[in-house]
Amino acid sequence: MFRSIHLVKTARPESTGICRIIMSLARFAKPHGYAVSVLFFEDGPLRAEMAEAGISAHAISWKGTFQDLPGAVRACVWLRRNCPEIVHLHWGGRAVRAISRLGGAGVVVKHVHARIDENTGEILEELAFPWADAVVACSVAVATRVISHRPQVIYAGIEVDPAPNPLTGHSGPLQVGVLSRLTPVKNVEAVIEAAAKLRDSGIAIEVNIAGSGPCETALRALAGELKVADRVRFLGWRNDIRALLSDWDLLVMPSLDEGFPLAAIEAMAAARPVLASRVGGLPEIVEDGTTGYLIPPNDIQALVHCIAEVAHDRARLAKMGAEGWKRVQQEFTEAAMADRMADFYARLLKQKGLRPG
């Protein structure tokens, strides 16, 4: 078996999306000849979740810089003891790539999940990764920003039910869902502002916000200021995504930028349409008018118009949801992702002349 070690910044909930990708890869790794394990640089509850899924997971405290020399030494020693053929980086700069190389990695793969800094919203115009052998980009939109390599685009995949969960029987106020970290780039305030405008127009909706992050206090204050606190529910960080989606009619993603959000394909896999900004990798997921709608970023009026339109046409929502489920079945399954990653690994290992340890 080839040993593939995935390096992740933290085992705290903000790494949930990355960890779900790794767990999906691990489920399909053995038939392809790969043993998957994870090394976190900050401990947290996700390490236990990995272990429960049967994945070897470890945590070493390191800030990812050479200024934290003891942490760098710990990481290097750990890697040398585990002798990986592949080190797959989901986080870190030059220091992490250098330590991966010094730690004996046969191949160093950098996985780029975004083209922005989520906390600041700063767009990273050019991405270069010296000391990496290859780069995986989560979407074409992200790949266009990579200048140091010719990145391989590999879409994330998820487990899809064999039959769609039809959007039927929902009545009363339109249940609008938001599923994201509460950070500035996610622009969740747009949904709250839209809820206020829709109330003034006499359209009944309820907004359900599942997630946590630094903007939560400000978002709660905004809901109170606009007098829609009774229409906006903050659900906190949730892991029961399928159960949430089954209660919602529509997922809204008003982000200012995205790499390739799992939330969008999770909604489509649950046969729920997606209303999203036309930014980043979202147009690679959502087919405008077929599996949902794409609107200009930060356009509150367009957001209000689309929600109002579907609130009066539940049959249209159901049809778009069914088309979304079909699209995920065809393009975004975890088996397809694992096959593409395994083929990518095989080419790299062949180029290096590496054999399984």
Q: What is the mean pLDDT of residues 228-236?
A: 96
- Does domain 2-157+333-352 correspond to CATH entry 3.30.70.260? no
Task: Provide CATH 3.40.50.2000 ranges for the chain.
Answer: 2-157+333-352, 174-331
Q: How far is CA 16 from CA 81, 99, 238, in A?
A: 27, 24, 10
174-331 CATH fold = Rossmann fold (3.40.50)
> Could you tell me the pTM of the whole model?
0.93
Provide the pLDDT for residue 70. Answer: 97
CA distance 146 to 136: 10
Provide the pLDDT for residue 125. Answer: 54
Residue 170 pLDDT greater than 90, yes or no: no
CA distance 319 to 329: 16
Q: What pLDDT digit, counting tens, does each position of 303-347 carry?
A: 999 999 999 888 899 999 999 999 999 999 999 999 999 999 999
Torsion, CA 22, CA 23, CA 28, CA 32, rounded to 10: 40
Q: What pLDDT digit, counting tens, does each position of 103-143 carry?
A: 999 999 999 998 876 666 666 655 789 889 999 999 999 99
Predicted confidence band of residue 171 (pLDDT cuts 50, 70, 90): confident
Residue 262 pLDDT greater than 90, yes or no: yes
**Radius of gyration over every alpha carbon of the chain, rounded to an integer in angstroms:** 21
Provide the pLDDT for residue 239. Answer: 87
Q: How far is CA 326 from CA 24, 82, 214, 317, in A?
A: 20, 41, 35, 14
CA distance 62 to 70: 8
Residue 89 falls in which region: left (phi positive, over 0), alpha (psi -120 to 50) or beta? beta
